[in-house]
């Protein structure tokens, strides 16, 4: 049975998982800075190179090699400073060896705390690692840390990463909307901006914040939660152009037809006749051109939206840091199989605090948009949605600039010497 | 022969032309604030509703109805506050009536100064209006004001509007590059960002500023000036993925094959078999997928890039304001058929001043990227290019925010009462 060394202070293993965000490094900053403040109880924070794969392959990064200034710079650096991965561990029954390998590596490096920073899948993994460590009698505290631009984790009021994408989308459609309004007399009448959100419309909904009045962009939002109805949609586009002179649309990549097919798969074909994925905006643009004959422009924000640290929301940055800090504090308090969450306090002015939830309650659950957050006609957000979303994009938190460019940090990412003879194939 | 009223001070007519920018309203701000400082000599600044069309149809906007705070807010508001248009006047020989109509409207509203804010076509128009007013004996001072994100006007060191797009593109590819680097171990290996620039690669080149070291994004830039060579391109992409783990690409919408066809027209077809325009990024992504089988993501920034006032370059904002101010001062000094330009002063540190050029020398000329600004292999920018571009993106000039969103101004745009009985069809 693997054991923690009696003589040394336990180390932390921290890994970033899944799609990265503008503020996941702010969480890493919270983890590392907080751990450094508790040197009496915590050894070193090791990070997984490319997420959990770094643990499986014993490819650990020694964050103690980074000076305080570099760690502080993580607070304003987007993306995953240690690398992330899209790698979902199988179930314990299917591949127990994966979990045992994690424990083997943790034991070899005297890791007493496992902090896993990701979405629903990652919380599930953290939960299973906790269960297996108990079974094996290995003393490990597993703390999940929420992160996802999709905002689809349950229980927590919001997910770090979402607020900054939300701000990017709202700012961008406001700006592009003004542009289209300027051009509409003789040129572009319809503008379509595609945003992320394969299953939930939270990001698209955030675009709606830009429309503080009925005539402001966006005029139409297409949600994955609302089946696309071509006729109603075209009617609404036409009405907007006639009423406001132009029509600005935010469309979620996850919009589906009534038969459940992604709209992005129904339109474009490449030169070989294959469906072109990831382009619902051009599909919609083409539909509008062929049926209404309006001149269009379209944009696909893709990674730009989730990497846009230059326009991150201050609230989001603070919450991302806070969940990292809380994770270390939870671990030190001896908690296990829990995740810090954002709790919205009651009252008119937005205030929040950090709460705690059992991983068993968050693993593999998705939070969709409530129907009452979408207007009856399915094309916009309601006041309830606006009240929920608005505080999440509040505040600016600009990175430092040099020569006109944001000065993001790239860490040295010094590898920890391997201790195991065994290799592990992922 | 139309005449200026002897008793009243002459008014200014100001119009925005062509694609709008993040800072064309800063120019409008410079025009109006400067004119308001010279009340002894200038009556009112009238703006054309939807650009020159507003003059032809006698649809003028009375900017004196806007309070000083609203005019000041133009400095940080993107797009065209009075509306712009894509409407090129025909040649004097082809449609003299258009030019005569302009003079008719100007005379009716006692306009002594015509300030036309646009690119090469607009400078040509301003030049012709000047010529015709001389022929007709109407006392009009015509001043062109440079504006174009394409940076393709001759003589001027740069064009207001370009620096801010350049900054947006450089910041965005830096951020997205960090994102891809995080994901590359198990997921996306190639990221493609499509930017504007139908004929000149200035905007794409600006992306190159983000790569301060060889391993930093973007690794490849595709310019309209360099014919696309599929084999060389794929080879370079593969090299980057093998060397750096990923490959970030900035591609200009205007990239062409060796036979001169836009690459964006060679790939995707819509459901009806028509070519899908405006999507060179997905075309390239598909090529990489089919030939190299790398997982890709792509973004098309489209209007987001030229409307992105939230990340405008301070230098660009200052220059945009300065050319507006200079245009009024030129007019007051009795100059005619000239355009203010940005002059780069010699020396290591970037300093600039306002110069002056005859419209005859700028009309209908395009400034392409010099070949020595592009590396020999055609895939990146040289140090000479970097030295030219870098100062143009320098400085930040953030708009004010409220509730997490930039507070851009929307003017009242009160119409001036029509004085002419005649209508004019555009």
Interval B61-76: pLDDT, tens: 999 999 999 999 999 9
pLDDT at B1: 60
Neighbouring C-beta atoms of residue B232, cutoff 10 Å: 13
Residue B114, phi then psi, degrees to nearest 5:
-115, 115
B45 near B63, Cβ under 8 Å? yes
Chain B interface, mutation test: which of A52, A161, A307, most B Cβ atoms within 10 Å? A307
Provide the sign of the torsion angle of the four alpha carbons B257, B259, B262, B268, taken in this order: negative
Which residue from A minimizes the CA distance to B308? A175
What's chain B's average pLDDT?
A: 94
Q: For the segment B264-308, what is each residue's pLDDT rounded down to a tens digit?
A: 876 555 444 555 555 899 999 989 999 999 999 999 999 999 999
pLDDT at A88: 87
**Torsion-angle region of A245 (φ positive above 0: left; ψ -120 to 50: alpha; else: beta):** left
Cα–Cα distance list, A411 to A71, A269, B33 (Å): 8, 41, 48
Cis? peptide before A218, omega within 30° of 0: yes
DSSP state of B346: S
Contacts of A51 in chain B (CB under 8 A): 185
pLDDT at A271: 47
Which residue from B minimizes the CA distance to A179? B79
DSSP state of B262: B
A160 near A18, Cβ under 8 Å? no
Residue B404 has pLDDT above 80, yes or no: yes
pLDDT at A268: 54
Q: Is residue B9 classed exposed, middle or buried when 0-12, 13-18 and 19+ CB atoms within 10 A define those classes?
A: middle
What is the rounded CA–CA span in Å between residue A175 and residue A382?
A: 22
**Least confident residue range of B1-5, B206-210, B317-321:** B1-5
Tell me, letter by letter, the H, E, C secondary structure of A366-416: CCCCCHHHECCCCCCECHHHHHHHHHHHCCECCCCEECCEECCCCCCCCEC
Residue B201 has pLDDT above 50, yes or no: yes
Cis? peptide before B218, omega within 30° of 0: yes
DSSP A216-258: SSPSEEE-TTS-B-HHHHHHHHHHHHHHHS-EEEEEETT-BBT
Q: Smallest CA–CA separation between A30 and chain B, in Å?
A: 19
The ranges of chain A with pLDDT < 50 are 270-272
What is the rounded CA–CA span in Å between residue A208 and residue B394?
A: 32
pLDDT at B278: 56
What is the rounded CA–CA span in Å between residue A242 and residue B126?
A: 32
> Which of B53, B271, B303 is facing A186, going by the closest CB pair?
B53
What is the rounded CA–CA span in Å between residue B255 and residue B287?
A: 14
Contacts of B209 in chain A (CB under 8 A): 404-405
Residue of B34 and B278 predicted with greater confidence: B34
Token pair 């001149």: residue: A295
What is the rounded CA–CA span in Å between residue B394 and residue B310?
A: 14
Output the six-digit token pair for B127.
């030049």
Bridge partners, residue A144, by sequence:
A116
Which active-site residues of A does the annotation give? Answer: 150
**Region B178-200: what's the mean pLDDT?**
95
Contacts of B406 in chain A (CB under 8 A): 171, 174-175
DSSP state of B155: S
pLDDT at A79: 98
Q: Smallest CA–CA separation between B225 and chain A, in Å?
A: 24
- H or E element that contains B120: helix B120-136
pLDDT at B220: 98
**Annotated catalytic residue, options B150, B152, B157, B336:** B150
Token pair 């009696």: residue: A6
A20 near A77, Cβ under 8 Å? no
Scored b (16 or more CB within 10 A) or e, A212-245 reads eeeebbbbbbbbbbbebeeeebeebbbebbeebb
What is the rounded CA–CA span in Å between residue B211 and residue B217?
A: 5
Domains and CATH numbers, chain A: 11-148+309-364+394-406 (3.40.50.450), 162-307 (3.40.50.460)
Which residue from B minimizes the CA distance to A296? B278
pLDDT at B274: 52
What is the rounded CA–CA span in Å between residue B250 and residue B193?
A: 5
Neighbouring C-beta atoms of residue B414, cutoff 10 Å: 12
Alpha helices in B224-313 (DSSP H): 230-244, 280-292, 303-307
């Amino acid at each position: 049975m693997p054991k923690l060394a009696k003589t040394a202070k336990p180390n932390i293993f921290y890994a970033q998982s899944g799609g990265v965000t503008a503020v996941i490094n702010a969480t890493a900053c919270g983890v590392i800075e907080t751990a450094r403040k508790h040197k009496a109880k915590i050894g070193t924070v090791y990070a997984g190179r490319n997420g959990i794969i770094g643990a499986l392959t014993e490819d650990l990064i020694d964050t103690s090699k980074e000076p305080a200034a570099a760690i502080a710079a993580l607070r304003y650096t987007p993306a995953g400073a240690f690398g992330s991965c899209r790698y979902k561990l199988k179930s314990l029954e299917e591949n127990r060896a994966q979990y045992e390998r994690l424990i083997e590596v943790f034991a070899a490096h005297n890791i007493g705390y496992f902090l896993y920073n990701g979405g629903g899948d990652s919380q599930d993994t953290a939960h299973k690692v906790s269960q297996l460590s108990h079974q094996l009698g290995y003393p490990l505290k597993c703390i999940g840390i929420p992160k996802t631009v999709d905002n689809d984790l349950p229980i927590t009021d919001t997910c770090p990463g979402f607020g900054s994408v939300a701000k990017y989308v709202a700012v961008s459609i406001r700006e592009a909307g003004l542009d289209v309004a300027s051009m509409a007399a003789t040129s572009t009448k319809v503008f379509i901006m595609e945003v992320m959100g394969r299953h939930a419309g939270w990001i698209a909904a955030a675009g709606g914040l830009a429309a503080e009045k009925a005539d402001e962009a966006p005029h139409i939002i297409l949600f994955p939660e609302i089946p696309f109805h071509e006729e109603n949609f075209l009617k609404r586009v036409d009405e907007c152009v006639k009423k406001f002179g132009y029509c600005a649309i935010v469309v979620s990549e996850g919009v589906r037809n009534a038969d459940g097919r992604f709209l992005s798969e129904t339109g474009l074909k490449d030169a070989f006749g294959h469906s072109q994925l990831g382009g619902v905006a051009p599909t919609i643009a083409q539909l509008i051109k062929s049926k209404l004959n309006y001149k269009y422009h379209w944009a696909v924000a893709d990674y730009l939206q989730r990497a846009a640290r230059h326009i991150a929301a201050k609230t989001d940055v603070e919450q991302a840091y806070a969940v990292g800090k809380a994770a270390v504090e939870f671990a030190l308090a001896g908690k296990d199989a829990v995740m810090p969450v954002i709790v919205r306090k009651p009252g008119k002015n937005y205030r929040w605090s950090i709460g705690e939830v059992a991983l068993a309650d968050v693993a593999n659950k998705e939070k969709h948009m409530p129907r009452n957050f979408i207007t009856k006609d399915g094309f916009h957000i309601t006041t309830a949605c606006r009240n929920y979303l608005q505080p999440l994009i509040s505040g600016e938190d600009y990175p430092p600039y040099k020569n006109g460019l944001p000065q993001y940090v790239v860490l040295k990412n010094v590898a920890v010497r391997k201790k195991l003879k065994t290799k592990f194939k992922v």
